[in-house]
């Protein structure tokens, strides 16, 4: 299976269940692995997933919404990619860096496939 990936993308959103987390947007680190339909040697960008457009769509969406749980946000991003682009599957990994003392990364990872 072919895939494209965006690793280490940073985006800001309101996220968290505690009042102190909801006072200002937090920076998240997002990794996306996006499964592509078979391309068969095409050199046309219309035959693939345009990763810059995915990045912009995710950032725009996160600016307009807020979430309590990383799990809900991961589902939202997965649906955005699967519904808005020619992706056949997606793996979403979200990291909230520095949220817990003495823990480098806290996060969630999910994988979803396009419904047939």
Residues with catalytic function: 96
CB-based contact 68:19 (threshold 8 Å):
no
CB-based contact 54:32 (threshold 8 Å):
yes
Give me the sheet containing 66-67, strands edge to edge.
66-67, 3-15, 26-35, 89-95, 107-113
* 70 CB neighbour count, 10 Å cutoff: 21
Distance between CA atoms of 10 and 30, rounded to whole angstroms? 6
């Amino acid at each position: 299976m072919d895939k494209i990936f965006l690793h280490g993308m940073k985006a800001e959103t309101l996220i968290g269940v505690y009042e102190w987390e909801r006072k200002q947007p937090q920076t998240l680190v997002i990794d996306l692995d996006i499964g592509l339909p078979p391309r068969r040697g095409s050199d046309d960008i219309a035959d693939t997933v345009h990763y810059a457009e995915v990045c912009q769509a995710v950032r725009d969406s996160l600016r307009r919404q807020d979430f309590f749980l990383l799990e809900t946000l991961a589902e939202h991003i997965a649906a955005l990619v699967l519904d808005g682009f020619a992706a056949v599957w997606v793996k979403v990994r979200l990291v909230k860096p520095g949220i817990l003392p003495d823990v480098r990364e806290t996060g969630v990872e999910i994988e979803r496939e396009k419904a047939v």
